[in-house]
Amino acid sequence: MSMQDVKKTDILIVGVGGQGTLLASRVLGKYALDAGFDVKLSEVHGMAQRGGSVMTYVRIGKDIASPVIDEGGADFILAFEKLEALRYLHYLSPEGQILYSTQEIMPMPVVTGAAEYPRDIEARLPGTGIDALGLALEAGNGRAANSVMLGALCKKLGFDREKFEAALLACIPQKTAEINKKAFALGCGAV
Amino acid sequence: MKKLLLGDFAVARGAWEAGVHVAAAYPGTPSTEITEELARYPEVYSEWSPNEKVALEVGIGASLRGARAIVSMKHVGLNVACDPLFTASYTGVNGGLVIAVADDPSVFSSQNEQDTRLTAVSAKVPVLEPSDSAEAKEFTKLAFALSEKYDTPVILRLTTRVAHSQSAVETEERREVPLRAYEKNIPKYVMMPANARVKHVTVELRTEKLSEDANDFSINRIEAGDGELGVICSGGVYEYVKEALPGASILKLGMVYPLPYKLIEKFAESVKRCIVAEELAPHIETLVKAAGIRVEGKEIFPLEGEFSAKLIRERVLGEKSCAACANVPARPPVLCAGCPHRGVFYILSKRKLSVLGDIGCYTLGAVPPLSAMDAVVCMGASIGMAVGFDKSDPEAHRHSVAVIGDSTFIHSGITGLIDAVYNKAKITVIILDNRTTGMTGHQNHPATGRTIKNEDTYELDLAEVCRAVGVRRVRTVDPVDLAATEEAICASLAEEEVSVVIAKRPCALLAKKMYRGFKVNDKCKKCGACLRLGCPAVVKGKEGVEIDASLCTECGLCQKVCKFGAIEGEAE
């Protein structure tokens, strides 16, 4: 599937505040706008960012109205954390695909013992799990896990790899370029 | 050139293109990025003001001198700025004065869900409401033009979804606007009773004229549909309506106060069923109904929360929702790993003190397991509330504290502290000084010694401020030093006068360092003491406590609460 073939692509990016979901949505937005599509992104800032559950919407297509993706409407979910993938699974459309990082970050109710981290998440998720943290560490820094996920997404959606990588490099500080390039390549190779 | 811009950035761009000279603000989600972005333009004088009232007063002064000025804030910030706003409505402007106010439907990062449009009606100030980033830029430019044409401040109302969404914007160049001539004009600018009485009449006439002229404003437009269903809407809701009801006629209002009644009447008559779709208060609906026009509104829509295309389909077309969400543990926001506030809240929690809290990251001290907060109301309220606690209960000062951040203290805590000293309260105030405005994304403030453009300036000394207003007991501690912090808090609680503890340590996110992270060794007795810190890096794993090395910042708090030496690593 290439983006040129689809009428619209609604991508939901979910994770834990601080994981870089904002950056990922901005890279996608830049890539799509440069490719001549209309794009709308919606982000979460402020209190929710402090280690809370976060979601950002990326809508790519022609004449996008609402920046929000409705439940059951996402063509694609990119999840930076396993539990968050499950939390937002009901946003996936019946034909949608999901790509998730197998990283586990314990939410506070689990930390304190008030709740348990579900053990059967991968069995309940329809898509592909990627060891994004492991691959990012291999690339040189765990914080590049979002670039790993973007690499995997690029491959999965059949985006133009060179142009997508250029969009990524345009959105990050110069000094982290090498690590992120490596992480992106590892992500591409992981699916 | 077409660019993808955040709604807030588009407002900044619009102001810059409109030749704005002065920008002032106090940070507040979701409005912060407007002024942050404006500060990048060398042509614009930009400042972080200590609070929104001062910011608006700076804007009023700039306008008076003939400059174009923009002042930005979140909805609750407008409450702080209401005093100057209501009278600036009377004086009118010289240079254009635009007030960008961002509301927060669904309360993503606020303490309430109030509707700025209602404040604007009380202040009799016109309100423009953009739907996306392109309009955010255009409406900002228009707001300056309207402000000067109608001699009024203009509010540009955003919501979180518009402020924090990105969409394509065609950027243009800046048009330099010369300063308007300044003339002393006592009847216009000195609002004493004789002048204010005259100006009130002017304000009512202005509102009437704007309402009349608005019938022909191109930003108020009808998009004709099949004539069965008509929807009156504005802002972000317009996008949801377009998506949810493709056949409907739409009256899109770019100006939501004052309203273009003739246009609305014409629209309502052109459709069989007319609905007002608006988030939060029934602002348009109430005014339209009062004008005798029949519409539906809050009979079908909620008064709280954000709308969506889905909600509109459900409420207007009766569509049923079928998506079921998984039942999984919640993930509330928490104090970050390494947060300097954690040590203080750990002590407050351990000693079971009543905590009168305030607005900032540290409001998260209320989240379990710390649960160390009893009340949070508004910016600066902690100190006043502590005085009230103290004056109602002679023993309160032994078991209660006020907790307030550095930026919040400067915003509106200082006056509370003056009250406490003046009225001989016995309260303990803890200033959580993390050297930044944390929650909104690390903005400078007077005590960081840096301006919005990161230039050096006078560094306000918080301890000196406390002493200057008459506090004799000021203790400064490093909150990672639990023993010293606990000792300072206990000593303050024992005082029979106002005392201040300044817990000073920079926000953990400012360090941007690489950490190896601590490890738990086999001396761990699984007592759970470290888990009571509520640190996201200290996790109850399958085999006992584990430390998530990807989150740990080596602050060393967990080592200090562990009695068995089970946590290894060198605190930085």
pLDDT tens digits, one per residue of B137-181: 999 999 999 999 999 999 999 999 999 999 999 999 999 999 999
Distance from CA of A156 to the nearest CA of B (A): 24
- Looking at the complex, does the CB of residue B89 fall below 8 Å from at least one CB of chain A? no
- CB distance A91–B323 less than 8 Å? yes
d(CA B354, CA B389): 10
Beta-carbon separation of A47 and B364 below 8 A: yes
Q: Which of residues 237-296 of B touch A (CB under 8 A)?
A: 239-240, 242-243
Contact A24, A184 (CB under 8 A): no
Q: Which of A16, A30, A45 sits opposite B109 (nearest CB)?
A: A45
* Cβ contacts of A39 on chain B, cutoff 8 Å: 4, 166-168
Q: Which of B30, B243, B551 sits opposite A46 (nearest CB)?
A: B30
Nearest to B260 by CA among B225, B208, B224: B208
Distance of alpha carbon B563 from alpha carbon B460, whole angstroms: 40
Residues 6+ apart with CB under 8 A from A170: A30
Tell me the three state secondary structure of residue A27. helix
d(CA B364, CA B371): 8
- Whether the CB-CB separation of A80 and A16 falls below 8 Å is answered with yes
CA–CA min distance B315, chain A (Å): 15
**What ipTM was reported for this prediction?**
0.93
pLDDT of res. A72: 93
One-letter amino acid of B397: H
Q: Is the CB of B336 less than 8 angstroms away from the CB of A18? A: yes
DSSP string, B216-263: G-TTSEEE---SSEEEEE-HHHHHHHHHH-TTSEEEE-SEEES--HHH
Count of positions (residues) in chain B: 572
Q: Which parts of chain B sit beneath pLDDT 70?
A: 323
From A117, which residue of chain B is nearest by alpha-carbon distance? B329
Q: What's the token pair of residue B316? A: 């207007």
Give me the helices (H) in B300-353, please.
309-312, 341-350
Q: What pLDDT shows up at residue B421?
A: 98
How far is B138 from B169, CA to CA, in rounded Å?
Answer: 9
User: Reduced to 3 states, what is the DSSP secondary structure of residue B386?
Assistant: helix
**Binding-face residues of B in 324-363 toward A, CB within 8 A:** 324-326, 328-336, 361, 363
Rounded to a whole number of angstroms, the distance from the CA of A61 to the nearest CA of chain B is 12
Residue B117 CB contacts under 8 Å (≥ 6 apart), including other chains: B127, B157, B256, B257, B281, B283
Q: Which of residues 157-176 of A touch B (CB under 8 A)?
A: none
d(CA B275, CA A114): 45
Min CA distance, B319 vs chain A (Å)? 13
Residues 4-63 of B with CB under 8 A from A: 4, 6, 29-30, 32-33
Which CATH number applies to B341-504: 3.40.50.720, 3.60.20.10, 2.60.40.1180, 3.40.50.970?
3.40.50.970
> Which residues from A are below 8 Å from B235, CB to CB?
none
Residue A20 tokens, joined:
């870089």
- Report residue A189 as tokens: 């190779």
Which CATH number do you get for residue A134? 3.40.920.10
Q: Give residue-wise pLDDT tens across range A27-82.
A: 999 999 999 999 999 987 766 667 899 999 999 999 999 999 999 999 999 999 99
Q: Which class is domain B2-215?
A: alpha beta
Longest Cα–Cα distance of chain A, Å, equals: 49
pLDDT computed for residue A1 by the predictor? 41
Q: Do B166 and A29 touch (CB under 8 A)?
A: yes
CATH number given to B221-317 = 3.40.50.920
Count of structural domains within chain A: 1
Quick check: A83 contacting B, CB < 8 Å? Answer: yes
Size of interface A-B (CB pairs under 8 A): 184
Give A142's contacts in chain B (Cβ within 8 Å). Answer: 550
pLDDT tens track, chain A, 191 positions: 444 544 689 999 999 988 889 999 999 999 999 999 999 999 877 666 678 999 999 999 999 999 999 999 999 999 999 999 999 999 999 999 999 999 999 999 988 888 999 999 999 999 889 999 999 999 999 889 999 999 999 999 999 999 999 999 999 999 999 999 999 999 999 99
pLDDT tens-digit profile of B75-103? 999 999 999 999 999 999 999 999 999 99
Task: Give me the domain span that covers residue A31.
Answer: 3-189
Per-residue pLDDT tens digits for B394-451: 999 999 999 999 999 999 999 999 999 999 999 999 999 999 999 999 999 999 999 9
Domain assignments of chain B as residue spans, ordered by start: 2-215, 221-317, 341-504, 514-572
With CB atoms and an 8 Å threshold, state whether B164 touches A71: no
Query: Residue B320: CA atoms inside 13 Å, Cβ hemisphere, count?
Result: 2
Residue B540 touches partner A, C-beta closer than 8 Å: yes
A38 contact B CB<8A? yes
Q: Chain B contact for A96, CB < 8 A?
A: no
Give the span between the Cα atoms of B157 and B151, in whole angstroms. Answer: 19
Provide Rg for chain A, Cα atoms. Answer: 16
Domains B221-317 and B341-504 agree in fold:
yes
